Structure 1
Amino acid sequence: MSEDAFTSYYGRPVLKPPVWKALDIAGYLFLGGLAGASSVLSAGAELTGRPRLARGTRIGAAGAIAVSLVALVHDLGRPGRFVNMLRVLKWTSPMSVGSWILSAYAPLAGAAAFSAVTGRLPRIGTAAAMAGGVAGPAVAAYTGVLLADTAVPGWHEGHRELPYLFVSSAAAAGGGLGLLVAPRAEVTPARRLGVAGGAAELLVARLMRARLGTVAEAYETGRARVLMRAAEALTGAGALTAALGRGDRRLSAAGGAALLAGSALTRFGVFEAGMTSSKDPKYTVVPQRARLRTG
């Protein structure tokens, strides 16, 4: 029997598949990235005198991180489990570090949005927005590290590219949100972020699948394939439409919506590929044998 046709004892999975729910966890991954990138865009807009872009992305960041936390707690089962993760800070644990990042970032995003909506405490709101912009990249990146640190082959084997994929996907989503909320006079930073993020997302996703070898099959079969192909199409179309729609508010908005949808489908596709890879023993054993042969 060839290694590619490897089966385990009685065909049982080598790993116990994660019990995470797709809507909760993939939604948490997407919304956290959207929030982080939106905060970076908001801080830049604040510094360059684009008040409507800053206001829209502040509100978007706060809404996204709030729903992201709700999805995470819903998957955990009860809020106390999230609080328990804050009892210690373990630098070697992406879950522990990520929990603290979220706990520090969410109040900043909330304070910035509160000031933008009510007009109250503008100095505190601006300071919170600037601090959120500093924390935003970590919020966008840590979930990629978190997935890659698991034993799930579809995520672990992509540990080199997955954080970059999530950051570029978050940038595309943040730029997409900016394209939806900003007037034409202020939309340039959002367009540049969306186009650059979308292009990087497409490139990194291709590079990751090219390096994964046998495990890449999990991304290229079944539901994961449909989701990843749809993500590529929407991200590519969104980036192109955003780049060409400089003078047309409707085209810019359409490009922004496509970038948001493409980013979301990327997270759901990665999630589905990981779940698929955890159920087939060959995705665990074949890469292990390859590493043993190469030392």
Structure 2
Amino acid sequence: MSPDRAPVGALFRRFRDRLASEGPERPSVSGGHGAKQSGRFAEAGGSRATGTGAGVARTDAGAAEAGLAPQPPRDVPPTERRRGGRRKGGGGEQLNVPPAEFTSYYGRPVLKAPVWKWDIAAYLFTGGLAAGSSLLAAGGQLTGRPALRRAGRVTSLAAVTTSAYFLINDLGRPSRFHHMLRVAKLTSPMSVGTWILSAFGPAAGVAAIAEAAPWLPERGVLGLGRRLLPPVGHAAGLAAAATAPLLATYTGVLLADTAVPSWHEAYPELPMIFAGSALASGAGVGLLTAPTDQAGPARRFAVAGAAMELWGSHRVENRLGLLSEPYAEGTPGRLLKAGRALTAAGVVGALIGRRNRALSAVSGAALLAASVCTRFGIFHGGVASAKDPRYTVVPQRERADRRAAEQG
């Protein structure tokens, strides 16, 4: 121990003598004799005040000397202080927390926007066009309308070939499409769609090739092909038509199966919209290419497809609440609005121009353009909803509030 420091015992005796000489109004230490003395003050009706220092406890008289406000005894309820936003009728101070608003990290999107580009939107259109044209060809085949059948089969093959090109272009390498055929997963819309496209394509190709049978010579090996191709083409055309509804609607299921808010929430309507758009586009092919006396099935397809497409689009733009905004604003809103106008004009023209070849062709072109606008509008609307965090956070909190209200 250093010689200039006093022993611990001497320091303690000096502190005890000082405490005895200054009386009971001096600060008490926490614990031991000081804690008992503070308890006696509280039992006698005194009050305590707390200063800014650590562990300061005083009587009212000591607090007055130190310039501190006295604190009431323990058995006295706290004084009620009101502030703006305090709950009425309760003791003490209550502060209201403002309702939470959606936030994201520096306003960045919560979801990663789809990396798909315009070729996938074009793939949605060409797939629907192939399906609608195949159904149109089957209608022409069953009702004895060769011009309608021929136009539908040729367009279906061209559309499904273009659709496969857009899909492979998005995948990057043709081998990736082949790799997707190594598994069949019923819970994956992409896997199911790959198999649907693989089944539809060859059937549509055989049906289209059969239309070349009249150009083959009547004798020899090619003559045999001339006799065999028509029945084989009829069977292939019906097989393609049986697969066409799946091809027309699976892309809607594929979009709704993603986490993109405005696609996912519209899962009941997207397959309906895509089916109606496919029928309308197939009708457009028939009205554009077939004579008016053979375009009866095309006109009926136009009415049915327009009804389904307009009903689904109306639901998407009005049922989803906040998530309907991406479909009504900006580029998606303009595209969908143009699609509705062109669809209505195409149906009216198809009904009025039953004997007018020019008006029938214009109506068919309007229906094809309407299908393009609808598919691209749905595509861009979903991408816009993924880029804005508001469309992800707000609906999630609304669902959480509804669940809490139901459980409460």
Q: TM-score range by the shorter chain?
A: over 0.9
Which residue type is aligned with residue 183 of structure 2? V
Asked which structure has the greater RCO (Cα within 8 Å, sep 6+), the reply is: 1
| Alignment check: 8 A CA contact 1:8 1:281 kept | yes
Equivalent residue number for residue 256 of structure 1 = 364
After the TM superposition, which of the residue ranges 168-177 and 114-123 deviates more from structure 2?
114-123
| TM-score where L is the length of structure 2 | 0.70
Equivalent residue number for residue 230 of structure 1 = 338
**1:159 paired residue among 257, 261, 267:** 267
Deviation per CA, 1:237-280: give whole Å up to 9, x if none.
11111111111111111111000000111000001001100100
Equivalent residue number for residue 193 of structure 1 = 301
Take 1:238 and 1:192, find their aligned partners in 2: how far apart are those partners? 12
1:118 Cα shift? 4.0
1:2 Cα shift? 7.2
1:109 Cα shift? 0.6
1:11 matched to 2:107: yes
| Alignment check: 8 A CA contact 2:275 2:308 kept | no
Take 2:172 and 2:316, find their aligned partners in 1: how far apart are those partners? 33
Between the aligned residues of both structures, percent identity stands at: 56
- Find the residue that maps to 2:114 and give its secondary structure: coil
Deviation per CA, 1:88-112: give whole Å up to 9, x if none.
1000000000000000100111111
1:123 Cα shift? 1.2
Equivalent residue number for residue 179 of structure 2 = 84
Which residue type is aligned with residue 268 of structure 2? R
Equivalent residue number for residue 374 of structure 2 = 266
Deviation per CA, 1:215-244: give whole Å up to 9, x if none.
111111111111111111111111111111
Equivalent residue number for residue 278 of structure 1 = 386
Unaligned runs of 5+ in 1: none
Equivalent residue number for residue 69 of structure 1 = 164
Listed as ranges, the matches of 1:1-295 within 5 Å are 6-22=102-118, 24-119=119-214, 120=226, 121-295=229-403
Which residue type is aligned with residue 395 of structure 2? P
CA RMSD of aligned residues (A): 1.3
1:50 Cα shift? 0.6
Unaligned runs of 5+ in 2: 1-97, 215-225, 404-408
After the TM superposition, which of the residue ranges 105-114 and 200-209 deviates more from structure 2?
200-209
| Alignment check: 8 A CA contact 2:189 2:250 kept | yes
Take 1:86 and 1:286, find their aligned partners in 2: how far apart are those partners? 39
- Find the residue that maps to 1:18 and give its secondary structure: coil
1:182 Cα shift? 1.1
Moved over 4 A (4+): none
Take 1:76 and 1:150, find their aligned partners in 2: how far apart are those partners? 17
Which residue type is aligned with residue 108 of structure 2? R
Which residue type is aligned with residue 216 of structure 1? S
Select the structure of larger CA radius of gyration: 2
| TM-score where L is the length of structure 1 | 0.96
Name the structure with the higher helix share. Answer: 1
1:124 Cα shift? 1.0
**How many residues end up aligned between the 2 structures?**
293
| Alignment check: 8 A CA contact 1:57 1:181 kept | no
- Find the residue that maps to 2:267 and give its secondary structure: coil
| Alignment check: 8 A CA contact 1:175 1:193 kept | yes
Take 1:284 and 1:249, find their aligned partners in 2: how far apart are those partners? 49
Go from structure 1 to structure 2 and tell me whether the alpha carbon gap of 1:45 and 1:292 turns closer, same or farther (over 3 Å shift): same
- Find the residue that maps to 2:212 and give its secondary structure: helix
- Find the residue that maps to 1:194 and give its secondary structure: helix
